[in-house]
Amino acid sequence: MITPQQETALLKKLDAFQVEIPSWGLANTGTRFGKFIQPAAASSIEEKLSDAGEVHKFTGCCPTVAVHVLWDFPKGLESVPETLSFAEKYGVRIGAINPNVFQDQCYKYGSRGNPAAEVRRTALAHILESVEIGKKTGSRDVSLWFADGSNYPGTANIRARAKWFQEGLKETHARLSPSQRMLVEYKPFEPAFYHTDIADWGMALLLARGAGPKAKVLVDTGHHYQAQNIEQIVAWLLAEDMLGGFHFNDRRYADDDLTLGCIDPYQVFRIFHEIAFFEWETGKKPEIAYMIDQSHNLKDKIEETIQTVIAAQSFFAKAALVDHAALAKHQQKCALIDAEECVKSAFATDVRPVLKAWRKSKGLPEDPLAAFRASGYMKRITKDRAEKNAASGGSYA
């Protein structure tokens, strides 16, 4: 049961909770074996921002859209004014800028970790252009993920590559404006299968620290080995003032990019709990970018995005309900059952009525998914985009 006081506090907290959606989650994606084409998928930045605008319109908590430079700014800096005008037209803002140093042929053996200095320079130039794009779009974060690594033992100089990364990240940091940050993402494997240059949070943390004070670590929930305790990583990063943000998704096996909380809802709750507990205990309010990074290749993309945003809001709300003062006492006394029950009862609380109340107070539909379905938007874009999408083909051949 949620008390009226808890409800008032929660409504206020929800006002400050925002989720950033990825432009690439609205486009056609697939697996290693082929792309699955959906007739309504977005294939231009205008369509992606239009779809993102719908998600924001119905959920009220997704004002920003993360973008991938090569996919969304094909002409780099030159594409900025047009993109900004689309964002304005569809009622969203441009969020994290994601450079792409993994797609071009020159990156076959790596980008910033490539033994060829020329390729490293090409990668850095693209990242620096992304920083400039971020200045023009008014984005706070440049979000860096590197596919770099090697497939066979003995084929790469791991230490030399780490040094090249350190240098590149320092140079990137030097170009940030006072309002910009850079986020360093890690991933244990894929596409590289023997070693990945930035494989875990320790490596990301060292690189971010070495780069400068505006560099933080980005935790993609799908980028961990099976048994890893993600909320412990989150707790450590918070304590070190190094948690910059998340890429939310869920997985069963590897980096599956499934809907947040679809496999392990308690995991998402535990992450939010560590953050809420930290904030309560320290009185600090770290700047955390809550972003989604999913591949909506089977479900309808806009609907899955709405579903994800609501999931994020509800785990956030459940974690906010933990009685922190009581929990601290139970922990101090090692009252294990009481401490555990304190956390679990918050997880078990049905927060849907509060989320509905919050939406109502904002003039939003109480059921965003149903309202989106009733809006006719899907029908319209399916008609407009089906032909172009059908022609795009799903084969990698």
Minimum CB separation from ligand RM4 for residue 333, in Å?
41
Instruction: Note the helical H segments in the chain.
Output: 4-15, 45-59, 69-72, 80-89, 117-137, 158-174, 201-211, 230-239, 265-282, 301-320, 324-332, 336-348, 352-361, 368-374, 377-392
Interacting partner of 304 out of Mn ion, ligand RM4, none (Cβ under 5 to 8 A depending on kind): none
Q: Are 10 and 322 in contact (CB under 8 A)?
A: no
Rounded-to-integer distance, Cα 293 and Cα 247, Å: 5
Closest listed residue to residue 183, CA positions, set 221, 237, 145: 145
Rounded-to-integer distance, Cα 2 and Cα 348, Å: 11
Q: Are 185 and 145 in contact (CB under 8 A)?
A: yes
Between 20 and 255, name the residue whose CB sits nearer to Mn ion. Answer: 255
Q: Is 112 in the site for Mn ion (CB under 5 A)?
A: no
Minimum CB separation from ligand RM4 for residue 186, in Å?
10
Residue identified by tokens 């980005």 is: 218
Q: Is 247 in the site for Mn ion (CB under 5 A)?
A: yes
Between 52 and 355, name the residue whose CB sits nearer to Mn ion. Answer: 52
Between 94 and 317, name the residue whose CB sits nearer to Mn ion. Answer: 94
Between 51 and 257, name the residue whose CB sits nearer to ligand RM4. Answer: 257
Residue type, 10: L
Cα–Cα distances (Å) from 221 to 24, 124, 225, 271, 291, in that order, read 17, 26, 10, 10, 11
Q: Which of residues 181-220 bind Mn ion (CB under 5 A)?
A: 220
Minimum CB separation from ligand RM4 for residue 220, in Å?
5
Minimum CB separation from ligand RM4 for residue 247, in Å?
5
Classified as helix, coil or strand, 122 is: helix
Interacting partner of 98 out of ligand RM4, Mn ion, none (Cβ under 5 to 8 A depending on kind): ligand RM4
Between 145 and 201, name the residue whose CB sits nearer to ligand RM4. Answer: 145
Under the rule (CB under 6 A), what is the footprint of ligand RM4? 98, 145, 185, 187, 220, 247, 255, 293
Out of 293, 301, 330, 351, the residue judged to bind Mn ion by CB under 5 A = 293
Q: Which residues bind Mn ion (CB under 5 A)?
A: 220, 247, 255, 293
